[in-house]
Amino acid sequence: MPVPMPAEIFTEEWARAWCRAADASASFRRAAAGWEGSIVAVLEADPELGFEADRRVFLDLSGEGCRAGRPATPADVESAVFVFSAPARVWSAVLAGETEPVWALMSGAIALAKGSVPQLMPFAGAARALFEAARGLPAERPEGRPRAGGRG
């Protein structure tokens, strides 16, 4: 798979790249066997980091991979099985590999705004592999600010 160009995190281009990365991840497909549903990840605004408003991305997932990745609409948030929400600084640390996503979730740094931990537990390995796929993406902050996570 060609290396994608850096994209601002939690944008349409980045969401599509995350979906493609999940599709390319054998560890995600293996761990996601039996998964059927969608997630929304919410990056909470932080003007200091260049995020003037919340950003939401939607991933439509199955055990076979990712069917769609895009900015989340209100209907996507309503229909998602899980909604993960965190401040921009937390997502930046997760995407840079400085914070383990499962630890961030269990510690409350990433809030499970929709869904429950017991409901997520059978798919904890899939969630970890999904966030690992996002970590591998070249990414940047808005307006050319320093790298916000991922490789690049």
The enclosing H or E element of 105 equals helix 101-107
C-alpha Rg value of the chain to the nearest Å: 14
Distance CA(99)–CA(109), nearest Å, equals 10
Q: Greater confidence, 146 or 128?
A: 128
Q: What is the pLDDT of residue 81?
A: 95
Q: Average the pLDDT over 102-115 and give the result.
A: 92
Residue extents of the structural domains in the chain = 7-143
Q: Is the pLDDT of residue 144 over 90?
A: no
- Residue-wise DSSP of 107-136: HTSSEEEES-HHHHGGGHHHHHHHHHHHHT
Percent of the chain with pLDDT over 70: 89
pLDDT digits (tens, 9 = 90+) for 35-45: 888 999 999 99
Domain 7-143 falls in which CATH fold? Answer: Nonspecific Lipid-transfer Protein; Chain A (3.30.1050)
Is residue 73 classed as helix, strand or coil in its secondary structure? coil
Amino acid of residue 6: P
Q: Is the pLDDT of residue 87 over 60?
A: yes
Q: Is the pLDDT of residue 31 over 50?
A: yes
| pTM, to two decimals | 0.87
Q: Is the pLDDT of residue 85 over 90?
A: yes
Q: What is the pLDDT of residue 1?
A: 46
Q: Greater confidence, 44 or 150?
A: 44
